[in-house]
Structure 1
């Protein structure tokens, strides 16, 4: 399966009727990962999609939103003395012992 097939199947699974400019999304993810910190990539693309959806953005508006996000990432300054390698060492807490079985319910109630 290739990326366009995955996108089509995922849109079907999420009940979305959308055309995806994967190059635009992947470009934002790449710039955010390299200029900010690696975990910024999926968060940036998620927020781009959220903003586009809330604004009912068409292709031109989506490009403008992505351009703003990319410009922010390109201009992002790391803390003094930080290197790219330091940014990538983001620790994720181990919560494997935590019971998350009720988490989905809490989100539905919110």
Structure 2
């Protein structure tokens, strides 16, 4: 074995670091294009990604990105002040996380 070999965990961290760098470069461009204050996104990125994961693995995989859109839409409509928008988005994420935790798939009628 070569001394230059990298463990799987180290490779995964490197891959994850690269994925996050690409995501952030992309989101910088999207924020600029849509005239969104990046600070609003930065304040909520990890909780939003966690929410998307919880929705995708709970109530609805295809509903996860639409849920994120609704959270952002509701939060952005709360104010024109970026700090207030960031707070409002965080509150909406918490509210939807409570919905996910209480979700009962048996309450959905089969068609």
**Normalising by the residue count of structure 1, what TM-score does the alignment of the two structures yield?**
0.64
Structure 1 runs of 4+ off > 4 angstroms?
Answer: none
Counterpart of 1:58 in structure 2 is: 85
Paired residue secondary structure (1:35): coil
What is the aligned partner in structure 1 of residue 63 from structure 2? Answer: 40
* Structure with the higher helix share, 1 or 2: 2
- Unmatched tracts of structure 1, length 5 or more: 81-110
Residue aligning to 1:99: none
Mark the runs of 5 or more structure 2 residues left unpaired by the alignment: 1-20
Answer with 1 or 2: which has the greater Rg: 2
Residue in structure 1 matched with residue 4 of structure 2 by the alignment: none
- What does residue range 65-104 of structure 1 map to in structure 2 within 5 Å? 65-79=92-106
Give the number of aligned pairs. Answer: 80
Task: State the superposition RMSD in angstroms.
Answer: 1.7
CA contact (8 A) 1:33 1:41 kept: yes
Contact 1:32 1:74 in 2 (8 A): no
Q: Does 1:10 align with 2:25?
A: no
How far did residue 12 of structure 1 move?
1.3
TM-score by length of 2: 0.64
